[in-house]
Structure 1
Amino acid sequence: MTRDISPPPLKRRKLVPQDSENKTQSLRVFSWNINGVDAFLPPTTSKITTFFKPTSPATGRVSPPQTKRVTVTNSLRAFLSRHSWPEVLFLQELKIKQGDAKTVASLLTTLNTPLSTSDELSDERTYTLDTVLPRDKYNVRGFQGKLYGVGAILRKDFARNHVARTREVDWDLEGRVNIVELKQGTEQDRPLALINIYAVNGTSSPYRSPATGKVVGTRHDHKIAFHSRLRDECLALEAQGYNVVVAGDLNIARGVLDGHPNLRTYPTQHCLNRADFNTKFFGEEDNERAQAYVTTNNEKKACFDAVDIFRALHGAERRYTYHPRTAHWGSSCDRVDLILVSKRLWDEGRILGTGILDSPQERGPSDHVPLWVELKGPE
């Protein structure tokens, strides 16, 4: 630990959860780092022997290959069905290469393929898909470019009635950000901007200029810059009149409550990254509530002043979203997937609930688990 990092304050303010009996229409946003889309898609190839069937003794003709209904073990549509067809599902770490339209189409097909004869397709049960895939030729080179990538899955009736546009940002070339801007609701309600995030993981590996390929720092440096750009995007949206919701894998455990059995503090750069994130995105009240590490020097940084709604609603409860597959479940884990909202959205009482879905049924094949928020939606 360095002198730039202060220990988290011990004092926490207890918050009263929002009224859950509100009668207005709600909007549910789910978020999940799926650690690669392939596990959620049907097999694309069959054994070659399936195409050569024995001849029929009666006719001497070659029997045609038998067509079988392909099932997906890890079904995103089944996930959506279990949760009563939410309006929004954000996915991170798709691991789809830029230009791979076939895999994107396959994902969309699986989302809208009925689970059974009773699964009737309608605009209330079918979805659109918008992806942002990496396009940085110097920093996305491993695994043949099958890295990163985010996708916004929107229920069709919701998209038609309430979504103004979905977009990417020009400062993200690694497939880490897409934004869903909603239409203006009533005059009293500010429109919502929903940001799907797969934040940079800080490491000592080199980061290269996307323009020249020259090494210009480390992935730690890139992470710090990513924090600034994301904060500035949030502040710009607020300045345009939006209330902002950020959901996804932020690749940060904010404080001692968010790591088990211990919070990662070595090498020291992880502490600096953590303090930088908490300082740029949260005010004193929220950092106090989260027992978060912040910078203590005199550097002035613009702040989004968001609310980490899991901590706001669940206090010091220890729940985690990242469980590495190399360790026994629950033995080593972190809360690095977060949902942040504009403070004025929280102050307006529009957050109805939030949770982390870490049951055996919901864990799926990823090393991350889903999380969700419900808020008062557009009228």
Structure 2
Amino acid sequence: MRIATFNVNGINGRLPVLLRWLEETQPDVVCLQELKASDDRFPAGSIEDAGYGAIWHGQKSWNGVAILAKGREPVETRRGLPGVEDGQSRYIEAAVGGVLIGGLYLPNGNPAPGPKFTAKLEWFRRFRDHAADLLRQDVPVVLAGDYNVMPTELDVYKPERWQKDALFRPEVRAEYAQLLEQGWTDAIRHLHPGERIYTFWDYFRNAWGRDAGLRLDHLLLSPDLKPKLKAAGVDRHVRGWEKASDHAPTWIELKLPPGGRQGL
């Protein structure tokens, strides 16, 4: 099973890029972020024509998340985190092929310090609490999305320039580390422990051409999925397409039995 995450940075404006990538790679499950579209503006027909069922939690500006599944409808289990009623569309969850998929778009948090940074930390803590609850359910889980955090200096080009940014502040990196301490596996870092792998390149200063990137998009696996992880990577070339998002699709390959795990 191939599971991917892709911050599309405006699904309607970049729909040709998304559809081209879906046709090229045929992932089984895709978590999308930053739809920038209200629910009624989600391009469900085009997604269906591409062979994917979808659930989505839209928002007109900045936010919005979705889960796509090839040849089937994701079975929605949750939208929004428990106890969070902030009017923002940042989390959606579904069962697909025997795996529980959590798709997320964590707040940016800039400027830091400040109210937005405080809200980011609070959202992260609630997400971490929910992640712990998922582990207690003893089901296979993938938490995929744009975490808006660079976990280590290996995940950022020239880290000295990012010391004061909310994406690299020690408080945010500590939250991510505590998430991993629950038992989650960072798929990219597990298979590529010493490589500088990026998933985001700014539109300015030829960042993509210089490979001046950041690793913001992560797929975390519950303990029972760790031994089933066979590959992980970034479709970096997509960032170079015309009208591309500033993020590139990030993906994992899991070796699962036909039909996935029963009972979910």
* 1:309-347 per-position Cα deviation (integer Å, ceiling 9, x unaligned): 11110121111111010121235321011111123421x
When residues 239 and 147 of structure 1 are mapped into structure 2, their CA distance, relative to the original with a 3 A threshold, is same
Secondary structure of the corresponding residue to residue 335 of structure 1 = coil
Q: Distance in 2 between matches of 1:248 and 1:80?
A: 17
Residue 81 (structure 1) aligned with residue 81 (structure 2): no
Larger radius of gyration: 1
The partner residue of 1:108 within 44, 56, 67 is 44
1:122 is matched with none
Q: Is the 8 A contact 2:199 2:214 kept in 1?
A: yes
1:241 to partner: Cα distance: 1.8
Number of corresponding residues: 251
Residue 367 (structure 1) aligned with residue 246 (structure 2): yes
Secondary structure of the corresponding residue to residue 39 of structure 1 = coil
The partner residue of 1:204 within 96, 107, 111 is 111
Q: Distance in 2 between matches of 1:223 and 1:179?
A: 20
**What are the equivalent positions in structure 2 for 1:121-160 lying under 5 Å apart?**
126-134=51-59, 145-157=60-72, 159=73
Q: Distance in 2 between matches of 1:151 and 1:237?
A: 19
Please tell me the root mean square deviation across aligned C-alpha atoms, in Å. 2.5
* 1:273-318 per-position Cα deviation (integer Å, ceiling 9, x unaligned): 33332332123xxxxxxxxxxxxxxxxxxxx231111111012111
**What are the equivalent positions in structure 2 for 1:219-230 lying under 5 Å apart?**
219-230=116-127
Q: Is the 8 A contact 1:149 1:176 kept in 2?
A: yes
Residue 257 (structure 1) aligned with residue 231 (structure 2): no
1:168 is matched with 79
Unaligned runs of 5+ in 2: none
**What are the equivalent positions in structure 2 for 1:173-184 lying under 5 Å apart?**
173-182=87-96
* 1:227-263 per-position Cα deviation (integer Å, ceiling 9, x unaligned): 1111111111121222221111000001110010225
Deviating runs (4+, > 6 A) in structure 1? Answer: none
Q: Distance in 2 between matches of 1:233 and 1:201?
A: 19
Q: Distance in 2 between matches of 1:268 and 1:132?
A: 25
Q: Distance in 2 between matches of 1:278 and 1:146?
A: 26
Instruction: Choose between structure 1 and 2: higher helix proportion.
Output: 2
Q: Is the 8 A contact 1:261 1:331 kept in 2?
A: no
| Counterpart residue identity of residue 156, structure 2 | G
What is the TM-score with the length of structure 1 in the denominator?
Answer: 0.61
1:18 is matched with none
| Counterpart residue identity of residue 243, structure 1 | P
Residue 335 (structure 1) aligned with residue 201 (structure 2): no
What is the TM-score with the length of structure 2 in the denominator?
Answer: 0.85
Over the matched positions of the two proteins, sequence identity in percent amounts to: 25
Residue 322 (structure 1) aligned with residue 229 (structure 2): no
1:372 to partner: Cα distance: 0.5
| Counterpart residue identity of residue 253, structure 1 | M
Q: Is the 8 A contact 2:150 2:167 kept in 1?
A: no
